[in-house]
Amino acid sequence: MSSIKKAILFSIVLIMLATISISIRTIFSDPKSVPAGDSLWELNWEFSFEDSIVHDDVRVATPIDTQHTQVIEQNIALQGMRIDRGRSNRNSTREIVASITNQKDHSIKLNFTLHVSPIGIPHFIIKTDHLNAERRQLYTSDKDTLPINNEEVLELLSDINNNFEEPELVFNDLFKYCTNKIITDDEQGMDEVVDIIDAKYASVLGKVRLLTTLARASKIPARVVVGLILDEESEVKPHYWMEINVDDEWLAYDPNEGYVNEVPINFLPVRKNGESIVVLPKTVQLKQMDLEISKRDPTINFFDQDAKSLHQILDLNRLSLSTRLTLAFLLLLPLGALVTVFIRQVIGPNVYGTFTPTFLALALTQVGWITGGIILCIVTILGVIGRSFTPILGLNRVSRLTMVFILVAISMIFSVSLLMYFGLAVDGSIVLLPIIILTSMIDKIYSLADSSGASIALLRLAWTFVVSSIVAFILQMELLGLWLLSYPEAHLITAAFVILISLYKGKKWMRIIGLNWMLEPQKTDSKSSKKEDEDNKPLEQGPVP
Give residue-wise pLDDT tens across range 494-528. Answer: 999 999 999 998 888 888 888 887 888 766 444 44
Calpha distance 154→148 (Å, rounded): 7
108 and 242: one domain? no
Q: Does residue 498 form part of some domain?
A: no
CATH code for the domain in which residue 97 is found = 2.60.40.2250
Q: Does the structure show a pLDDT above 60 at 44?
A: yes
432 and 388: one domain? yes
Place 235 in a pLDDT band, splitting at 50, 70 and 90.
confident
Rounded to the nearest 10 degrees, how much is the dihedral formed by the CA atoms of 277, 280, 285, 287? -30
Cα R_g (the chain), whole angstroms: 30
Q: Does the structure show a pLDDT above 90 at 403?
A: no
Looking at residue 301, its pLDDT comes to 44
Q: Does residue 485 form part of some domain?
A: no
CB 324 within 8 A of CB 35: yes
Q: Residue 514 class from Cβ within 10 Å (0-12 exposed, 13-18 middle, 19+ buried)?
A: exposed
Q: Does the structure show a pLDDT above 60 at 241?
A: yes
CATH code for the domain in which residue 232 is found = 3.10.620.30
290 and 346: one domain? no
CB 406 within 8 A of CB 391: no
The single-letter DSSP state of residue 213 is: H
* C-beta neighbour count of 385 within 10 angstroms: 13
Q: Does the structure show a pLDDT above 90 at 14?
A: yes
Segment 178-207, tens digit of pLDDT: 999 888 887 778 889 999 998 889 999 999
Full 3-state SS string of 471-488? HHHHHCCHHHHHHHHHCH
Calpha distance 235→291 (Å, rounded): 10
Q: Does the structure show a pLDDT above 90 at 223?
A: yes
Of all helices (H) and strands (E), which one includes residue 358? helix 356-367
Q: Does residue 308 form part of some domain?
A: no
Q: Does the structure show a pLDDT above 60 at 545?
A: no
Segment 426-479, tens digit of pLDDT: 455 555 555 566 666 777 777 777 778 778 888 888 898 899 889 988 988 887
Q: Does residue 62 form part of some domain?
A: yes
Write the DSSP string, 399-455: HHHHHHHHHHHHHHHHHHHHHHHTTS-SSSGGGGS-HHHHHHHHHHHHHHHHHH-HH
438 and 339: one domain? yes
Q: Does residue 23 form part of some domain?
A: no
Looking at residue 388, its pLDDT comes to 62
Segment 95-116, tens digit of pLDDT: 888 887 776 778 889 999 898 9
User: How much is the mean pLDDT over the chain?
Assistant: 79
Residue closest to 277 by CA, chosen among 226, 326, 201: 226
141 and 264: one domain? yes
Q: Does residue 98 form part of some domain?
A: yes
Looking at residue 542, its pLDDT comes to 42
416 and 461: one domain? yes
Domain range for 257 is 133-279
Q: What are the residue ranges of helices labelled H in 29-170?
A: 133-138, 151-160
Residue 521 sits at φ, ψ, to 5 deg, of -65, 140
Query: Percent of the chain having pLDDT more than 90?
Result: 20
208 and 248: one domain? yes
Segment 156-178, tens digit of pLDDT: 888 887 555 666 678 888 999 99
Domain count of the chain?
3
User: What global pTM score does this model have?
Assistant: 0.67
338 and 465: one domain? yes
Pairing of the two strands 201-202 and 39-50:
unpaired
Q: Does residue 312 form part of some domain?
A: no
94 and 195: one domain? no
371 and 516: one domain? yes
CB 478 within 8 A of CB 326: no
Amino acid code (one letter) for 150? N
Q: Does the structure show a pLDDT above 90 at 208?
A: yes
388 and 464: one domain? yes
CB 230 within 8 A of CB 268: yes
91 and 164: one domain? no
CA angle, residues 503, 508, 512, in degrees to nearest 5: 135
Q: Does residue 544 form part of some domain?
A: no
